[in-house]
Structure 1
């Protein structure tokens, strides 16, 4: 067993027992997450780790399998609500070297996004994942005060080839998601996203 699991001498699956309590009751319920549900905190708690900047998209990588059907994207706000929003949406990007837009939710314009609230938005059309790989979820809010988000802080990429676990791109964005993710800047705060 130690050869099969490298230097670890016990059953790796036993280390994941805690996940049973946080997963949906039925194993048939479809959900994909970029982070575990535990250990999350509100980005409002650390002014150095800002989740969102107005008019700028934050995107995070998420592992998806071929055949997954993505209908909704969910993100949870923290203690700060969206203040006077004019545009906000979520988007799904593919696994290309320059990620391309697969789908976007409707622009929510001035619809309120309260504090400590999960916002679940439907993609304009469901997306069937074409191949297994690392995809990206984009979050964009244009507002006087963007909401804080629940998530986690990650170390920046250190080893050659590591991807940023959160990144920002674009500026002065409004109703439409960019067709590709380019000219990114790595961020340390990683928003928690769920795809269903």
Structure 2
């Protein structure tokens, strides 16, 4: 067995399809994403007033200023509040965006939420990017489907928490519940 385990190919050749996914060079344009740009579909974020948070790996030294989510086939219908927030791996609020209130969110549209305070990451690891939308129709988002964790130490790729949220992110991700739909988030 080698450093690559039982894999016998050239990892660069095997992972070459990722280079064709259209991501910019992270050395030229800082970004982190929780999912590749292939195999994505239209998924439900969460019910109105409920926060959905997704695991996002960030590296020591990253400066996260914005979180971007992309609506899918369903636009927001009569939104009253929507915000994004960044949480530590332990679920503590680090920063949130301003509440976008009644701002429209059309179908198939990227929406960038600027964090009120940019966050310099001091320890590489899993963080949580969260989205909450209060509306008569919550938009669907671009994302994927993930499996429920079953090994000791595994965390949720996507989870819901809170209820009746409006424009303020909770101080912690309290009693998270596993969510099969995993929204795509891009941190810049």
The CA RMSD measured in Å over matched residues stands at 1.2
The structural deviation recorded for 1:23 is: 1.9
The residue number in structure 2 matching 1:10 is: 9
- Stretches of structure 2 lacking an aligned partner (at least 5 in a row): none
Runs of 4+ residues deviating >4 angstroms: none
Residue of structure 2 equivalent to 1:104: 96
The answer for the alignment partner of 1:142 in structure 2 is 134
Q: Per-residue deviation at 1:25? A: 5.0
Which residue of structure 2 lines up, in the alignment, with residue 83 of structure 1?
Answer: 77
Taking the aligned partners of 1:41 and 1:124, their CA distance within structure 2 comes to: 30
Residue from 47, 60, 74 that aligns with 1:53? 47
Report SS of the residue matched to 2:14. helix
TM-score with structure 1 length normalisation?
0.92
Hey, what's the Cα distance between the residues in 2 that align with 1:95 and 1:35?
A: 18
Of 174-183 and 13-22, deviating more is 13-22
Tell me the equivalent position of 2:120: 128
Task: Report the equivalent of 1:27.
Answer: 27
Q: Does 1:153 align with 2:152?
A: no
| Cα drift, residue 111 of structure 1 | 0.4
CA-CA distance at 1:15 after TM superposition? 1.6
Query: Is 1:67–2:67 an aligned residue pair?
Result: no
In the TM superposition, what is the alpha-carbon distance from 1:95 to its structure 2 partner? 2.1
Q: Which residue of 1 aligns with 2:162?
A: 170
Output the TM-score relative to the length of structure 2: 0.95
Q: CA deviation at 1:16?
A: 1.4
Displacement after TM superposition at 1:26 (Å): 6.7
Aligned residue pairs total 187
CA distance in 1, matches of 2:153, 2:12: 27
1:135 aligned counterpart, secondary structure: strand
